[in-house]
DNA sequence: CTTTTACTAGAACATGATTCTAGATTAGGA
DNA sequence: TCCTAATCTAGAATCATGTTCTAGTAAAAG
């Protein structure tokens, strides 16, 4: 039986500083082009420390991804639970996303561009589970509105794409520099479209 | 002045076989994890040949990307030009995409997941130009329908996200194995939603 | 038949990810 | 307060892999 010891007080700070440095590098030069040494220098840590905390480069990328997704999800649920009606709820899904990506441009860019990374299976499972439980909570919130006829009854898997797809797609164009106005600036148009698409 | 010589008859075949091998590897193990040697072995060519045709690994990835985008775009314009009305045109944008990604699953997955790759600036320019000219043609097609009042007048940059965003987002979920029905199976729902969102 | 250029080949090289061993630091108990 | 086990830091050594380079082969043009 091995003795369990608490992680040290400085650990979260070091982890965070590595993730922050990694994000800067990834955004600046792309994931593939940033070297472990870039991250090491930017975060002021050592190779040993990096590998101790994250295992390998993929591990750093995965940590950053999971971290970001969870912040985004948590922010949505917090805002959603303050809503008083179906319409307000649907509009909030769109406007929260718009505001969040505009306020956290770098991490949003990373999240939207990093599907490609072949995360190891255990990370994929973790991500799947995070997604599943988030979706479950969101659907629990909207379920009643559909049942009592305030919202259209559609195939279950089409609600998310129909409500969130357009603003997400717009955000991609914005991050790629192909459109000028930030998502936060045009959110009303997309909130309007979303509500029209699902109102009964 | 250097003499110009035709490319050899076998060249296109070799290029295609390299791209095909690359796609298989990229889908199977991810872009970052596939080595040049994997592609070399799978395509039955040599290192020299690979680098002669594509310059470097990024060049192979870029070639595959451009190739795929152009097929997708060409297929849309061909189908669009057979349409007789605003409604049929909007629905076709959605259904063509659904059918194409369902029929070309692997290349679709690659196209949707590879925004991340930091292509060299010259490739980015090339992609931007391909996108620009395609969008121009598509808007030329839809312009009259907006002007004569069959379709809503919306901010110009919101049409593509509103019409195509949902089916694209759904396709992502499908490729990730998170929904069962193929885009081709559910295309009518999304075509319906798209038309409702932009009809006058 | 000759010349020019596209194309193929793979060994040598350079870069950068990862492993490994050693040591420093901290938490928790005696 | 001191001891012990574990966490955490370090960076040199190793290994994998992308890229370059030189040499040669084969097809097109005259």
- For residues A30 and A26, give the distance between their C-alpha atoms in angstroms, rounded to a whole number: 5
Q: Which of A11-20, A68-77, B2-11 has the lowest mean pLDDT?
A: B2-11
Q: Which of A2-16, A17-31, B39-53, B98-112 has the lowest mean pLDDT?
A: A2-16
Predicted local distance difference test score (pLDDT) of residue B3: 46
Q: What is the mean pLDDT of residues B114-126?
A: 81
Q: What is the mean pLDDT of residues B105-134?
A: 89
Q: Which residues are CB-contacts of B19 (< 8 A; sequence separation ≥ 6)?
A: B60, B63, B64, B67
Is residue A116 less than 8 Å (CB to CB) from chain B? yes
- For residues A182 and A175, give the distance between their C-alpha atoms in angstroms, rounded to a whole number: 9
- For residues B142 and B144, give the distance between their C-alpha atoms in angstroms, rounded to a whole number: 6
Q: What is the mean pLDDT of residues B174-189?
A: 96
Give B2's pLDDT tier (boundaries 50, 70, 90).
very low
Instruction: Name the DSSP letter for residue B152.
Output: -
Give B117's pLDDT tier (boundaries 50, 70, 90).
low
Chain B residues near residue A131 by CB distance under 8 angstroms: 178
Which residue in the set B157, B189, B197 is minimally distant from A158, CB to CB? Answer: B189
Which of A14-23, A107-116, A181-190, B112-121 is predicted most confidently?
A181-190
Q: Tens of pLDDT along B128-176?
A: 999 999 999 999 999 999 999 999 999 999 999 999 999 999 999 999 9
Q: CA of A129: how far to CAs of A122, A136, B134, B174, in Å? A: 11, 10, 39, 17
SS3 B145: helix
Task: State the sign of the Cα–Cα–Cα–Cα dihedral B171, B173, B177, B180.
Answer: negative
Which residue in the set A118, A157, A167 is minimally distant from B32, CB to CB? Answer: A118
Is the distance between the Cβ of B53 and the closest atom of strand D smaller than 7 Å?
A: no
Q: CA of A100: how far to CAs of A106, A136, A167, in Å? A: 11, 21, 12
Q: Which B residues 125-184 touch A at CB under 8 Å?
A: 128, 131, 154-155, 157-158, 160-162, 164-170, 172-173, 176, 178-179, 181
SS3 A94: helix
pTM beyond 0.85, yes or no: yes
Q: Tens of pLDDT along A109-145?
A: 999 987 666 788 889 899 999 999 999 999 999 999 9
Provide the H-helix boundaries in B55-120.
Answer: 57-80, 86-103, 105-113
Annotate A183-194 with b (16+ C-beta within 10 A) or e (fewer).
bbebbebbbebb
Report the candidate in B120, B83, B95, B65 with the shortest Cα–Cα distance to residue B183. Answer: B95
Predicted local distance difference test score (pLDDT) of residue A4: 46
Distance from CA of A24 to the nearest CA of B (A): 15
Residue B147: how many other CB atoms lie within 10 Å: 10
Could A193 and B193 be called an inter-chain contact, meaning their C-beta atoms sit closer than 8 Å?
no
Predicted local distance difference test score (pLDDT) of residue A170: 98
- Both tokens of B65, joined, read 């990307």
- Both tokens of B155, joined, read 């901010």
Predicted local distance difference test score (pLDDT) of residue A1: 36
Share the mean pLDDT of chain B.
92
Q: Which residue places its CA closest to the C1' of nucleotide D9?
A: A49
Distance from CA of B158 to the nearest CA of A (A): 7
Give B9's pLDDT tier (boundaries 50, 70, 90).
low
Q: Tens of pLDDT along B66-90?
A: 999 999 999 999 999 999 999 999 9
The radius of gyration of chain A's CA atoms, rounded to the nearest angstrom, is 19
Backbone phi and psi for residue A82, each to the nearest 5 degrees, phi listed first: -90, -5
pLDDT at A91 over 80: yes
pLDDT at B94 over 70: yes
Predicted local distance difference test score (pLDDT) of residue A119: 87
Chain A residues near residue B169 by CB distance under 8 angstroms: 160-161, 164-165, 168-169
- Report yes or no: B60 and B117 within 8 Å, Cβ to Cβ: no
Give B6's pLDDT tier (boundaries 50, 70, 90).
low
Predicted local distance difference test score (pLDDT) of residue B1: 36
Bridge-partner residues for A151, per DSSP? A199
Chain B residues near residue A158 by CB distance under 8 angstroms: 166, 170, 186, 189-190, 193
Could B186 and A155 be called an inter-chain contact, meaning their C-beta atoms sit closer than 8 Å?
yes
- Report yes or no: B25 and B38 within 8 Å, Cβ to Cβ: yes
Q: CA of B175: how far to CAs of A85, B37, B93, B109, B172, in Å? A: 33, 27, 20, 6, 5
Predicted local distance difference test score (pLDDT) of residue B13: 83
């Amino acid at each position: 039986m091995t003795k369990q010891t608490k992680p040290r007080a400085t650990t979260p700070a070091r982890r965070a500083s590595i993730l922050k440095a990694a994000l800067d590098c990834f955004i600046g030069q792309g994931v593939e082009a940033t070297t472990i040494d870039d991250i090491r220098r930017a975060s002021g840590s050592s190779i040993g420390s990096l590998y101790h905390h994250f295992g390998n480069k993929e591990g750093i990328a995965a940590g950053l991804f999971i971290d970001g997704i969870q912040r985004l999800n948590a922010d949505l649920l917090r805002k959603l639970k303050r809503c008083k009606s179906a319409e307000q709820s649907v509009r909030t899904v769109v406007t929260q996303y718009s505001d969040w990506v505009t306020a956290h441009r770098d991490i949003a860019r990373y999240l939207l561009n990093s599907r490609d990374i072949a995360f190891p299976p255990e990370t994929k499972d973790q991500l799947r589970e995070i997604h599943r439980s988030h979706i479950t909570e969101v659907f629990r919130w909207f379920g009643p509105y559909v049942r009592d006829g305030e919202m259209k009854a559609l195939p279950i898997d089409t609600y998310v794409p129909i409500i969130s797809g357009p603003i997400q797609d717009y955000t991609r164009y914005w991050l790629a520099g192909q459109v000028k106005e930030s998502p936060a600036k045009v959110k009303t148009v997309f909130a309007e479209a979303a509500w029209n698409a699902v109102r009964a």
